[in-house]
Amino acid sequence: MKCNLCGYRCNAERSIRPGHCGLDDGVYVSFYGPHFGEEPFFTGRGGSGTIFFLGCNLRCVFCQNHQISRWTVHDPLPPRARKTGPQGLADIFFELADRGCENINLVSPTPYVREIAVAIEIAKGKSLGIPVVYNTHGYDSIEALKFMQGLADIYLPDLKYCSDELGEKYSGVPHYYSTASAALDEMFAQVGHLKLDRRDMAARGMSVRHLVLPDNVGNSIRVLDRLAAYGPEISISLMSQYHPLRDLPEIPPEMRRTLYRDEYRRAVDHALELGLENCLIQELDSHEEFLPDFNKKDSFRKD
Ligand code: SF4
């Protein structure tokens, strides 16, 4: 089957040769477990049952998960990673649910969406009792999202840029904004605004993340304007945690610093001016707290 799951639409027959993303038709899981660093309505008491997939079709110069996202099938499988399939994924869903996780949180799922859809069908057929979160960079084709229709309870996309040029510059992909903008419309049409349950946990709907980047507040303001078109109730995480990664040499000069307080303030002020009612604001000093190390057993623990 030819792959057109992301904005590249490279038409690769991945059972014969890897696509532009460097992935074949296997399903590769890097790491899974409860994660306590997500938004409060995803984390709750039990943590978000996060499954990090290996590889990614974007090459963001600021990717916090670059230890796993840059992987391709030409590289050796990392020590904790595994190759699996739909039944193996469904087994992981139930293991996370049994460990008390609040949801299944699929991180960078796009190239694997077909197998994920089958896994969710298996798991929901056996009464998986927690919501499934499709946690994506937003560079998803409409075809990819149609696989998730009726299966994803929650969409958690990024909207990184409001211009295709910034997508080329910082994530190395063509047509980022036009692809992500159409993808968000499709996600919103499928699930609507984010709804919380009686425990204030996310149950269904769309919540959008945006990371404010150094020297790019104008982009953040355009992103907020775009998101406001969904109405003042749109759920947004306006993130300030940008941290320059010294081990990624391609990082451009303007991105070799953390965010200035004034830059984040301007983005927050704009969200307030727009009357956005569900915009989550971060502490500006939190940028190092969020850096995972996938070479450690507990990738999110600071010691
Ligand atoms: S996920 Fe995107 S880059 Fe990877 S094979 Fe499919 S269309 Fe190509």
Helix axis angle for 176-191 and 164-171, nearest 10°, is 110
Nearest CA-CA partner of 167 in 213, 208, 221, 135? 213
Q: Give the mutation target among 9, 16, 28 for probing the ligand 1 site: most ligand atoms within 8 A of CB.
A: 9
In a domain, 233, yes or no: no
Of the residues 9, 16, 21, 115, which should be mutated to test ligand 1's pocket, given the most ligand atoms within 8 Å of the CB? Answer: 21
Instruction: Provide the pLDDT for residue 1.
Output: 81
Domain presence at residue 284 = no
Q: CATH number of the domain at 14, please.
A: 3.20.20
Structure token pair of residue 299: 């990738």
pLDDT tens for 5-52 read 999 999 999 999 999 999 999 999 999 999 999 999 999 999 999 999
> Measured from the CA of 22, which atom of ligand 1 is nearest?
4
Domain residues for 140?
A: 2-209
Work out how many domains the chain is built from and give that number.
1
Range of weakest confidence among 108-112, 251-255, 287-291? 287-291
Query: Parallel, antiparallel, or unpaired: how do β-strands 104-107 and 132-136 relate?
Result: parallel
Q: pLDDT class for 296, splitting at 50, 70, 90?
A: low
- The answer to whether residue 34 sits within a structural domain is yes
**pLDDT for the residue numbered 45:** 96
- Tokens 């799951």, residue located: 5
87-106 per-position pLDDT tens digit? 999 999 999 999 999 999 99
Angstrom distance (rounded) from CA 195 to CA 214: 32
Instruction: Report which of residues 66 and 189 the model is more confident about.
Output: 189
Q: Check: CB of residue 22 under 8 Å from CB of residue 58.
A: no
Residue range 100-118: average pLDDT? 98
User: Residue 177: inside a domain, yes or no?
Assistant: yes
CB-count burial class (<10 Å; 0-12, 13-18, 19+) for 76: exposed
Residue at 243 is within a domain? no
Indicate the top mutation candidate among 20, 71, 115, 175 to test ligand 1's pocket, ranked by most ligand atoms within 8 A of CB.
20
Query: Looking at the domain assignment, is residue 61 inside a domain?
Result: yes
Q: What is the average pLDDT score of the chain?
A: 93
List C-alpha distances in Å: 64 to 14, 99, 232.
Answer: 27, 26, 30
The pocket around ligand 1, CB under 6 angstroms, is made up of 3-6, 8-10, 12, 14, 19-21, 23, 57, 110-111
Closest Cα to residue 110, out of 78, 155, 80, 73? Answer: 155
CB 106 within 8 A of CB 135: yes
39 Cα: distance to centroid of ligand 1 (angstroms)? 29
Rounded to the nearest angstrom, the distance between the alpha carbon of 281 and the centre of ligand 1 is 33
CA 135 to centroid of ligand 1, rounded, Å: 17
Q: How far is the CA of 94 from the centre of ligand 1 (A)?
A: 28
CA of 35 to the centre of ligand 1 (A): 28
- The answer to whether position 16 is within a domain reads yes
Residue 246 lies in a domain: no
Q: Which amino acid is at 59?
A: R
Dist. CA 287–CA 241, nearest whole Å: 4
Residue of the nearest CA to atom 5 in ligand 1?
Answer: 19
Position in ligand 1 atom list of the atom nearest CA 18:
5
The predicted-structure confidence for 125-146, as pLDDT tens digits, reads as follows 999 999 999 999 999 999 999 9
